[in-house]
Structure 1
Amino acid sequence: MINIYYNLIENNNRVSINKMAFYICVVLYL
């Protein structure tokens, strides 16, 4: 899972990374 996350970071812009980080935080919070 970590490798997939890093690959998505490399393929996306900083804004997309921030959105992904936000969604991940929400999922972890739930």
Structure 2
Amino acid sequence: HRTKHETSEAEKVLEGNLDGFMEEYLKFNAKK
């Protein structure tokens, strides 16, 4: 069972990880 607070915290972490992943992905493609 998750509270709304736990869910929102998890979403923030996932969004942060996704932002970092996309940044690395764009840098990688820019090198080609």
TM-score range, shorter chain: 0.5 to 0.7
Per the normalisation by structure 2, the TM-score is 0.56
Seq. identity, %? 5
Per the normalisation by structure 1, the TM-score is 0.59
Return the index of the structure with the highest Cα Rg.
Answer: 2
Aligned alpha-carbon RMSD (Å): 0.6
Matched pairs, number: 20
One-letter amino acid of the counterpart of residue 24, structure 1? L
Q: Which has the higher contact order (CA 8 A, sep 6+)?
A: 1
Alignment partner of 1:18 is 2:8 = yes
Q: Give the superposition deviation at 1:13.
A: 0.2
Q: Extract structure 1 runs of 4+ deviating beyond 6 A.
A: none
Q: Name structure 1 gaps, 5 residues minimum.
A: 1-10
